[in-house]
Structure formats: structure tokens, C-alpha cells
Structure 1
Amino acid sequence: MGIHIRGRYGTLLAPLLALALTGAATASADPDLPPIAELTAAARPAVDGSRLTGIAEGPGRMVDIQVYSAAMNSTITVKVLRALDDSKPAPVLYLLNGANGGTDGSSWTQQTDVADFFAGKQATVVIPMGGRGSYFTDWQTDDPVLGRQRWTTFLTRELPAVIDSTFHGSGANAIAGISMAGTSVFQLALAAPGLYRAIGSYSGCAQTSTPAGEVFVAAVVTRWAGNTVNMWGPFGNPAWAANDPYLHADRLRGTAIYVSSGTGLAGPLDTLDGPGIDGNAGKLIAQLTSGGVLDAVTNQCSHAFQSRLADLNIPATFVFRTLGTHSWGYWQQDLHDSWPLFTAAFDR
């Protein structure tokens, strides 16, 4: 279903038209959940006009929503796992995919047990799709290949308004991400103070403005043919330091923080019968090689960030696996292990 209404009466007519279009035929398969029509009618736009334009029932408690971003002038697909009772207020966990933006079958919904894990929990889980190679930041200039990237604006100002109104957000939010997004979660928290009560960074690197950090970021962005000059300018430009969580870690005080990384050495999940491998020797070799190198790098970054937070006397939970690569099996474990920290932050 798509809702496209313009003009001064759009705000008033959209909920009514949504009800007319959906009707009883789109009622949720789960009798304990409000029907799609009720969710659509509840949706409210963000201040800049970003809004819900479509919603479709998925398997179980999943719905796929379409959200128009005014900042990017495009429509973003967002997967939402509805809370146990989404007619009542629920905290929201934003889960970010990695450098490929959730494409090619590499996303939280396809590679982990996220749907089963949250099945009985009174929490809404929001998984934006897209943003490959973007670092989920606001780029200074549109990129010839990646296009207009204004993810900070979308994730901190536009999407929350739609999610909270549609799914009865309680105002308590957390954000977690893997790999590239393990950096972005800190940058987003710094850009929107108070929006997130907790942060989870799984195999991320919280340093972006050191020579090594710049090279690492550039390697991720150019993997998708993007140009970091369009993102933060040339190396050494003040924007690189402005987006460096390590340099601005003092502003994270009061936020619950969970950081994890492996060492890159083969671990218990790096086997032919490990998660996502399915007996494919080629996948296993890639996980042991490139996945090993990546977690060796994030391990160093995470240790440096631990020292930085300790110097600032900012409490945080750090989990350093002595074994393990840059791969979904470990990140699923990270999500499970960090959930108690998130729930404690929601209850504050």
C-alpha cells in the first residue's frame, strides 16, 4: 500500500484514506496485534514532512514500512518487529546493518534469530535497510555513485517521529550496530544527545580521524565505490575529527555502553557447520581471512576506546573474545548478551 497525499489537507486525509484502503482484509494475522489500518492511522509525520508512505504485513510480528525521507528525497524501507503489545508504549531498539546496508542477504533479519529472540518482549525493534558504505552519516556533498546520504538526519529526526507515533514508542530508545555501524552508533548518539539511553557496538571502530582510522573508513566507503571526500572532505578536514567518537567520548557520559570484538583468530563459530557457512568452504575461507583481519583491527580500536573511557571515568561494558571473526554468529551472541544492559537503561 502506498499513501501519497499532498497539499494542506494531506495530514488530515492520510489516516482516513489509509483506513479506506486497508479495510478488514489487511487485519493482522495475530489477533493480539492491532490491524495494519490502526497503525497507519496512528502515524504522524516528522517536522520536516518525512512520513509513512506504506506498510505491509510480514511473517510473524514483522512489518515492512516505507518512510519518505525529506532530507534524502527518497523512500527508505524499514523492517519493524512489533512489540508483544504494540497498542501500549514500548521502548525502541534501532538495529543497524553493516557496510552493505542489509543487501545481499546480509542483515539482522536474515542472518540472526532476532525475530525469535524478541518474540515475547515488550520492545519494538527497528531495522533500517539501505545506506551501504555511508557510515550512516550526513554527507557534505551528494556522491555520484551512492547519491544523497543524510542518514544522521533520517535516523535521529525523521524516522523516530514516525516510529513513535505508529508503534507507540515510550520515549526510551537504544541503538546497536555491527561493523561500519559499530562506529555509526556512537556518531548518532553524539549528534542527538539524549535520544538513546544505550549503545551497542559490535565489532566497530570508534576512531575515525587518526591516519589508520581514515584509511579504515576509506576502505569501507570505497568498497562500494563511494568517495570519502564527499562524506567528510579530504583527509585532515575538520569533519573527520568532528565525527570521531574517540575524541568526543566525554559527551557519552550517562549513556549505557556495550562494546564487543573478537581478535580475528578462528573461534568456535568459524567452522563449516557454523552460522551462515552451511558447509560452504569458500564462505569459511572468506570469514577466516577478511573476517579475521577486520576483527583484528576492531579489537585494537575497541581496546583504545576502553582506555579512553577509563581515563574519562565513564563506565562501559567491554567484551573481548579471545577468539572469533567479523561474522554474524558472534554478533547474534552480542545482541543476546547486551540486551540486559539495554533493558536496564530503558527502565531508568
Structure 2
Amino acid sequence: MKLLRNVTALTAAVALSAGVFTLPALAQDGSEAAPQDAVETADTATDAEQDAPAGTEGEQVEVADEVATNTAESDEDRDHVTNGEANPDLLQGLVDAAGESVTAPQEEEAPAAETFQAEATEGEAVLTELNLQEEMQPYINTGKKAPIEKTWMVRAWNNKEWRDLVKVFNAYSPSMDIDIPLAVITPDGTFNESRPTIYMLNGAGGAEQGMDWITATTYSDLEPEENIIEFYKDKDVNVVIPQAGAFSYYTDWVESPQTGYLKQEKILWETFLTKELPNPLQSEINGNDKRAIAGMSMSATSALVLAEHNPGFYNAVGSFSGCAATSRPFPNMFANLTVNRGGGNTTQMWGPQGGEYNVYNDGLVNANNLRESEVYVSANSGLPGMTDMGSSKIESQGLSAAAQGSSTLIIEGGIIEAAANSCTHDLKAKMDSEGIDADWNFRPTGTHSWPGWRKDLSESWPTFARGLGLPS
């Protein structure tokens, strides 16, 4: 079985790396997009006008045309593009990695946490609440379109109810010397009541590519339980989404590439999220010392590792379609493909593959540190389900776009999700052997795409509610 899993993953990696699969520009729902805009203005203005209560006419905001055309509903469905020409060195490396992973030892020893948890922080984050209307004012009735990284603000603003529920903050990180935008989804638009906090991490492309939790779950044709604002507004929690960190794995990097999406001099996301931010954020939003963390795809790994490095700090943890392992050859190679898209590599991030710091950041090796948290883990099978079929999108997208978008999800998203499913079974075996309980959600169908992650909002709630002391 292990050999079969590695052969499947090798096939995926070779095909993606060699450019066997061409990648059309994709719209947010997985369909092929028009070249000029991946985040179509109809998704932000027209749809919002249809959904918005009376009184919002004339105040709609559009998103800029100058958006990246390679954003997709499945933000991990990108490859290491070689323009169709195979890179012999890369392909040989993949073959070697697959062979090594079959014989790799199954029980690495986790290094002690204190080895790496030196005082990287230089203080606490400084939070500043922003006014959503002021942020949107330059784009209201001016013909000027908001930049892609503000798509989530556009979605909140274009619905009169949501603009009251979604609060916007800037958090200054002393260790990274950058301002980080935060979206905070509230039940009632106030912080009068003391509530638990759920940290929801974005996937690889994040808000920088218009692929954050708010943007991807607020389409007009989705059910309320698939919409992050609608779902959580009656759950008596505050949901915090860091709207930066694309391709970072939300980890502390050994060295910064200082290029692409990873430009800052220091990349210390774990320091920010676990040391600098929690106390001032809790004071600002009236938190009650209960917290959860969750992520999808890239950040599914991050959520597990951040919880493992801080046992008991998070009362609940959610990992949606991720790969816990990072230090073995094959998972490390896949992580490298992800960070390559942002301008970096895993050696810059975690040091040498299999080295002590890489093993420290391996969510499989350190899974025993999850026993103090309630844990929810999900993965689809990779087999196409109804939401992956073109027939489910013909009415809204047309026959050609539906067929092309569906084929992309079925082939590429299916292969990637099958690999995530394999990783998730490895994590289950590890946690079962350690006697650590978790709620496992192995869906019989579904690709590496947003329909499954939207389901995770409601399907993870019983686990989160149990950990946070709330009714499910």
C-alpha cells in the first residue's frame, strides 16, 4: 500500500513538474476564466448587488482588472511549470525521492521544542482597528477597482449586513517589521461579550491572490453553512483570518528569499501567530482564553504544527486536506513545489530535508503533542464528486467553461487530493498508535478544491464546539 501511494504521488509530481497538464486561467469556482480577470467583477459587484439588502445600491465596489489570472478555486492546484519541457534533474530527483520514501524510517525522533523556541519575538503585536468604509471609499462610485488583496473587504462591504459583522485590523509584527491585515468575523459587530477565538489560516495563495476564506466562501449561490460569515455569525465565536502569509506555511523561516511573495527580511509567522498576536488580540476583541486554529491545504499542515509546538494552547485544531509529514523526501518535495510558487524553497524555510529543524516542523513526527486538543482532520478521496462534474456548473458557466474547469479539477485536483488522503491516513495511523483521539472525515469523493473545504466549516464545528465549551 505504501508503495502504491508513492507511485501515485510520483505520477502526479512528474506530470505536474513536466508540464503534462496545462493550466488554464481559472475562476474562483474552478471554471476557466477570461484572461483579463480571474476575480470577475460580476462576482464582487453584480452578485453582491443581488444579495445585498435594500439601501446598498450605488455603493458597490469592483475588484481591479489587474488580478493574477492563475488563481483558482483550488488554490493548491498549481504546478512547477516548465512550459511543457521536462527537467531531467528535477524528474530524477522525484524518482529518487519516491524510492527513498518507500524505505524511509517510520519513527523519527522529534527534537525538543525548546531547541528552537528561542526568544525570537521582540515584543507584542500592535493592533489598529481600521474603518471598512474608509478602506473602501476610494473605490465607491469612482470607477476605480479595488486591488485583488482587498477582494475580501469588497465582499464584506458589498453586503450591508456583512459590513457590520466583519471588522478590519492591522497588526504590526515586531519580529517581521510588517503590518498584517486581519479580518475578524463577529456574531454581532461588537466585542461586548467575551468569546472564544478561532484562527482560520488561508491556503498557499491567500488573500494576496484573492483566495482567502472570505473571498472563496461568499458566492451568492452557496448555502449559509458554506459561507464563513453566515455560518459563524450565530456561533458565539470571533473568527480571525490573517490576510497575508501567502506561500509561507505560517512558519518561522531559517532565511528569507526576499523575493516574490516572500519579500520581507525576516519570515517569522509562528512567532507572530503564537507569541506576538494572541495577548493583544485577546484584549482587543475580548477573548475568553479559549482558542482554536484551522487551515486548508498548505495551512492544514501549519495548523497541526503550530498546535504541536504549543501543546494545549489551542483547545481545538482543524486540518482540511493537508499533509502532516514534511521531513520525508516525498512530502518535503511537495512542500517545496508550493513554496517555489512564492519565490522560496524548503531549505530556506526549514533547513536541509530531514534535518533537525525540518523534523521539528513535521506534523506527523510530532503528532503526540496533539493529545491536549480536540482534533478534526478531513480529506477527500480524490475521486470526482458532483461538485467536480461539469454538469453541476453548466447553468452558471456555460457548457465549454464548465467542461474545461471540471477536467482541471478532476485530473489535477484529484491527484493532489489523493496524495493528501494518503498523508491523512498516515496521520491517523500515527495518532491511533499514540492513543490520541480525533474526529476523522474521509469523504468517498471530492478533489482538492473549495467545495470540500466549505463543507469543513460546518462538519468541523462539533469538534470545535467541544473544545471551546460551546453547544454544537
Deviations 1:143-192 (A, max 9, x none): 22113311101111122123211110011000110000010001111222
Match of 2:273 in 1: 155
Structure 1 residues 93-172: aligned runs within 5 Å:
93-112=198-217, 113-145=227-259, 146-147=262-263, 148-172=266-290
Distance 1:117 1:74, change over 3 A: same
Task: Determine if contact 1:100/1:130 at 8 Å carries over to the other structure.
Answer: no
Which of 273, 276, 287 in structure 1 is aligned with 2:409?
287
Q: CA deviation at 1:47?
A: 7.4
Q: Which one-letter code corresponds to 1:295 in the other structure? A: E
SS in 2 for 1:307: helix
Deviations 1:87-108 (A, max 9, x none): 1110011101101123332111
Which of 66, 74, 79 in structure 1 is aligned with 2:178?
74
Structure 1 residues 47-66: aligned runs within 5 Å:
48-57=123-132, 59-66=163-170
Match of 2:294 in 1: 176
Q: CA deviation at 1:273?
A: 6.5
Structure with more strand by fraction: 1
Match of 2:69 in 1: none
Q: Which moved more, 1:208-217 or 1:295-304?
A: 208-217
Q: CA deviation at 1:347?
A: 1.1
- Provide the rounded CA distance (Å) in 1 between the counterparts of 2:198 and 2:375: 14
Task: Determine if contact 2:316/2:374 at 8 Å carries over to the other structure.
Answer: yes
- Provide the rounded CA distance (Å) in 2 between the counterparts of 1:202 and 1:77: 23
2:358 paired with 1:240: yes
2:340 paired with 1:340: no
Match of 2:102 in 1: none
Q: Which moved more, 1:205-214 or 1:153-162?
A: 153-162
- Provide the rounded CA distance (Å) in 2 between the counterparts of 1:327 and 1:278: 18
SS in 2 for 1:170: strand
Match of 1:25 in 2: none
Task: Determine if contact 1:62/1:82 at 8 Å carries over to the other structure.
Answer: yes
Match of 2:339 in 1: 221
Task: Determine if contact 2:124/2:280 at 8 Å carries over to the other structure.
Answer: no
Deviations 1:191-231 (A, max 9, x none): 22222001000001011111111111111111222122211
- Provide the rounded CA distance (Å) in 2 between the counterparts of 1:198 and 1:260: 14
Match of 2:223 in 1: none
- Provide the rounded CA distance (Å) in 1 between the counterparts of 2:342 and 2:430: 31
* Structure showing greater relative contact order (alpha-carbon pairs closer than 8 Å, 6 or more residues apart): 2
- Provide the rounded CA distance (Å) in 1 between the counterparts of 2:289 and 2:276: 15
- Runs of 4+ aligned residues of structure 1 deviating over 4 Å after TM superposition are none
Q: Which one-letter code corresponds to 1:129 in the other structure? A: Q
- Provide the rounded CA distance (Å) in 1 between the counterparts of 2:464 and 2:292: 7
Match of 1:262 in 2: 380
Q: CA deviation at 1:232?
A: 0.9
Task: Determine if contact 1:131/1:149 at 8 Å carries over to the other structure.
Answer: no
Distance 1:305 1:221, change over 3 A: same
- Provide the rounded CA distance (Å) in 2 between the counterparts of 1:138 and 1:274: 41
Match of 1:43 in 2: none
Q: CA deviation at 1:131?
A: 1.1
- Provide the rounded CA distance (Å) in 2 between the counterparts of 1:219 and 1:67: 29
- Provide the rounded CA distance (Å) in 1 between the counterparts of 2:286 and 2:122: 18
> Where in structure 2 are there 5+ consecutive unaligned residues?
1-120, 133-156, 158-162, 218-226
SS in 1 for 2:422: helix
Q: Which one-letter code corresponds to 1:123 in the other structure? A: V
SS in 2 for 1:103: helix
- Provide the rounded CA distance (Å) in 1 between the counterparts of 2:256 and 2:342: 15
Task: Determine if contact 1:203/1:260 at 8 Å carries over to the other structure.
Answer: yes
Q: CA deviation at 1:140?
A: 1.0
Task: Determine if contact 2:194/2:287 at 8 Å carries over to the other structure.
Answer: yes
Q: CA deviation at 1:83?
A: 3.4
Match of 1:86 in 2: 191
Look at both structures and tell me which one has the larger radius of gyration over its CA atoms. Answer: 2
Task: Determine if contact 1:83/1:125 at 8 Å carries over to the other structure.
Answer: no
Match of 1:331 in 2: 453
SS in 2 for 1:53: strand
SS in 1 for 2:182: strand
Match of 1:5 in 2: none
2:321 paired with 1:203: yes
> TM-score, normalization: structure 1?
0.82
> TM-score, normalization: structure 2?
0.61
- Provide the rounded CA distance (Å) in 1 between the counterparts of 2:124 and 2:427: 38
- Provide the rounded CA distance (Å) in 1 between the counterparts of 2:208 and 2:387: 23
Q: CA deviation at 1:285?
A: 2.8
Q: CA deviation at 1:130?
A: 1.4
Deviations 1:302-321 (A, max 9, x none): 00110111101111111111
Deviations 1:22-71 (A, max 9, x none): xxxxxxxxxxxxxxxxxxxxxxxx97042013422351300111110111
Number of matched pairs: 302
- Provide the rounded CA distance (Å) in 2 between the counterparts of 1:151 and 1:336: 27
Task: Determine if contact 2:231/2:457 at 8 Å carries over to the other structure.
Answer: no
> Where in structure 1 are there 5+ consecutive unaligned residues?
1-45
SS in 1 for 2:295: strand
SS in 1 for 2:339: helix
- Provide the rounded CA distance (Å) in 2 between the counterparts of 1:182 and 1:319: 14
- Provide the rounded CA distance (Å) in 2 between the counterparts of 1:291 and 1:103: 21
